[in-house]
Amino acid sequence: MNSNYNGWTNYATWNVNLWLTNEEGSYSYMMEQARTAASAQYPVSTLADVIRDYVEDNAPELPASIYSDLLQWAIQQANYEEIAAAFLNGVEK
């Protein structure tokens, strides 16, 4: 793992993980998804897709502007496979 921001790839990755693990509802949902993905052929990429979709689907709708462009850019910078691997490490084997 490339440790550039508090042990995470970058700020966006750290921030997404922080929010997903600090709120009980999102944490429970992600752990449920991790348990399901653990049995998939490619668990990390399977869960990474779920996490990316969750983040993108819950992003606020903003009119075209510098702010919407920056938000979309930041969402794309997160390393979803790194976040998925961390959730999968929390799944009992």
Query: 5: which strand partners?
Result: 8
Asked whether the beta carbons of 56 and 75 are under 8 A apart, the reply is: yes
Q: Which of 22, 24, 87 is nearest to 51 (CA)?
A: 87
Predicted local distance difference test score (pLDDT) of residue 23: 94
pLDDT along the chain (93 residues), means of 10: 81 98 97 97 98 97 97 98 97 76
Predicted local distance difference test score (pLDDT) of residue 92: 74
CA geometry: angle 62, 30, 21, nearest 5 deg = 80
Task: List Cα–Cα distances, 21 to 17, 40, 68, 70, in angstroms.
Answer: 6, 22, 25, 23
Tell me the two tokens of residue 91.
């799944």
Predicted local distance difference test score (pLDDT) of residue 93: 62
Predicted local distance difference test score (pLDDT) of residue 1: 45
